[in-house]
Structure 1
Amino acid sequence: MNSTKLRVLVVDDESYLADLVATALRYEGFETAVAGTGSTAVSKVESFRPHLIVMDVMLPDGSGIDTTRRLRSAGCEASVVFLTARDATEDKIAGLTVGGDDYVTKPFSLEELIARIRAVLRRSKHPREHARLVFADLEIDDEAHEVRRHGTPVDLTPTEFKLLRYLVAHAGRVLSKRQILDHVWEYDFGGSDAVVQTYISYLRRKIDVFAPALIQTVPRIGYVVRVQEPGPGAGPQADAR
């Protein structure tokens, strides 16, 4: 894939929460790393070079605000979204004073946090890196909500768009029906995973009318976006099962 993924470092001493946030961000197409302490975060910033840091205010070796101050002093320009269990005005002021970009109070929804992260990145100097995905001759523009294949506009429904974007964000990786269902139709979807097969068929009729076919079936596992030249008996109208 020719697009550059934005990198997000999640810093929280609650490993379950850090992993949950990192997993949700990966589903959204970000590259992620986690750290459980301020000192680990400083080391990770040097090697991982994140575009944005999700920083818990309360860390076992000091505050996230102090860690951010250290990072700013060292020249780190990554955007910072603070997480805190407190909603005190002084915390918000302190966080903004050391160069924080936003503040989310625990408990929070993943949807809200991801929306805040996207908003911060749009205001930063890296807004376009994540706004456009390109694979082969397929282009997806997040902001315009447009898709083009071979330079031709492709009209997709919101669900088709979300499904295609998820597949392309993970191009080359085989995704199971359950993974796709959990991401595109949300985790509390009560229907059958047969809906995935149905929408894969819809996408193929719109995306793979051009050669080569990009949406491939991996029998008994799931689906993957990759370039595969059509061979005998194969083609864009291949069965979605």
Structure 2
Amino acid sequence: MDARRGLVMLVEDEPAIADVQRRYFADAGYGVHVEREGTAALRRIRELRPVAIVLDIGIPGMDGLTLCRMLRSEGDWTPIVFVTARDDEVDRILGIELGGDDYLTKPFSPRELVARVGGVLRRTERRSDAPPLRVGDVALDEQRHTVEVAGAPVDLTATEFALLAHLMREPARVFSREHLLSAVWGTAAYAGTRTVDVHVAQVRAKLGRMDAIRTVRGVGYGMGDSR
């Protein structure tokens, strides 16, 4: 198997769906491991250390949301793309709040799923030429992939980190939600602007600075005065 792009863990209890997803990820150069139940998936994630996890919310045993919560509580920030058969905004928002990086509702194209995982992984890439960024007491280092507030470390998901980095590169600029969807998610045609709002709220909460990101009504978001 050609696994040059790393191992993707598929947590999916429907064999036919898992088989299709496995083939598409393998064709894209990923190694693939499939688990069909939450408790077993948690154990194998700890053992195999995948580069990304595709996580069905409605899996047997430990559900996907609980599995994500447990990983994040352990300090495991492996990128997670949630999938579900339910088009429920509450599930979608809860998944993001628990530390998910992206979300797809069934049915979807397996090509889109592979593209979404690739997008999340690009957001985790370290920019070796990027200087550290600082706005007020918020510091972000893209080479080390770290964020600190007044010297205290802050854990962000890959998407939260990419969103904050994009805002901090041009702290005087206000970005529209549509621009942020395109620049950070790369999927403006599929995701809604509510996704941006939820992620901004999560970043603010984790930074402990509600004014670290300012809202400009009718326009979008920019970095604020976080002193």
- TM tier, shorter chain? 0.5 to 0.7
The C-alpha deviation readout for 1:10-46, integer Å capped at 9, x for no partner, is 0011122112211210110011101001111111111
Instruction: Give the letter aligned to residue 65 of structure 1.
Output: L
For 1:34 and 1:122, how far apart are their aligned partners in 2?
A: 22
Post-superposition shift, 1:5?
2.7
**Where do residues 12-161 of structure 1 align in structure 2 (5 Å cutoff)?**
12-125=12-125
Instruction: Give the letter aligned to residue 55 of structure 2.
Output: M
For 1:63 and 1:47, how far apart are their aligned partners in 2?
A: 19
Which of the two has higher C-alpha Rg? Answer: 1
The alpha-carbon distance between structure 1 residues 6 and 88, as it changes in their structure 2 partners (threshold 3 A), is same
Q: SS of 1:59's equivalent?
A: coil
Corresponding residue for residue 9 of structure 2: 9
RMSD (CA atoms): 1.9
Instruction: Give the letter aligned to residue 56 of structure 1.
Output: D
Post-superposition shift, 1:126?
6.4
TM-score (norm 2): 0.52
Post-superposition shift, 1:70?
0.9
Q: SS of 2:54's equivalent?
A: strand
Post-superposition shift, 1:4?
4.6
The alpha-carbon distance between structure 1 residues 40 and 80, as it changes in their structure 2 partners (threshold 3 A), is same
For 1:108 and 1:127, how far apart are their aligned partners in 2?
A: 31
Post-superposition shift, 1:47?
1.6
Q: SS of 1:92's equivalent?
A: helix
For 1:88 and 1:102, how far apart are their aligned partners in 2?
A: 14
Q: SS of 1:62's equivalent?
A: coil
Q: SS of 2:120's equivalent?
A: helix
Q: SS of 1:60's equivalent?
A: coil
Residues 4 and 30, structure 2, Cα contact 8 Å, conserved in 1: no
Instruction: Give the letter aligned to residue 106 of structure 1.
Output: K
Post-superposition shift, 1:74?
2.1
The alignment of Structure 1 onto Structure 2 pairs a total of residues equal to: 126
Residues 92 and 103, structure 1, Cα contact 8 Å, conserved in 2: yes
Poorly superposed stretches of 4+, deviation over 3 Å: 125-128
Instruction: Give the letter aligned to residue 53 of structure 2.
Output: I
The alpha-carbon distance between structure 1 residues 55 and 127, as it changes in their structure 2 partners (threshold 3 A), is farther
For 2:111 and 2:127, how far apart are their aligned partners in 1?
A: 19
For 2:74 and 2:15, how far apart are their aligned partners in 1?
A: 26
Identical columns (%)? 39
The alpha-carbon distance between structure 1 residues 16 and 72, as it changes in their structure 2 partners (threshold 3 A), is same
Post-superposition shift, 1:113?
0.8
The C-alpha deviation readout for 1:186-229, integer Å capped at 9, x for no partner, is xxxxxxxxxxxxxxxxxxxxxxxxxxxxxxxxxxxxxxxxxxxx
The C-alpha deviation readout for 1:63-85, integer Å capped at 9, x for no partner, is 20111111112222210000001
Post-superposition shift, 1:127?
8.7
For 1:11 and 1:126, how far apart are their aligned partners in 2?
A: 27
For 2:45 and 2:120, how far apart are their aligned partners in 1?
A: 18
For 1:7 and 1:111, how far apart are their aligned partners in 2?
A: 17
Residues 121 and 127, structure 1, Cα contact 8 Å, conserved in 2: no
**Where do residues 196-215 of structure 1 align in structure 2 (5 Å cutoff)?**
none
TM-score (norm 1): 0.49
* Runs of 5+ unmatched residues, structure 1: 129-241
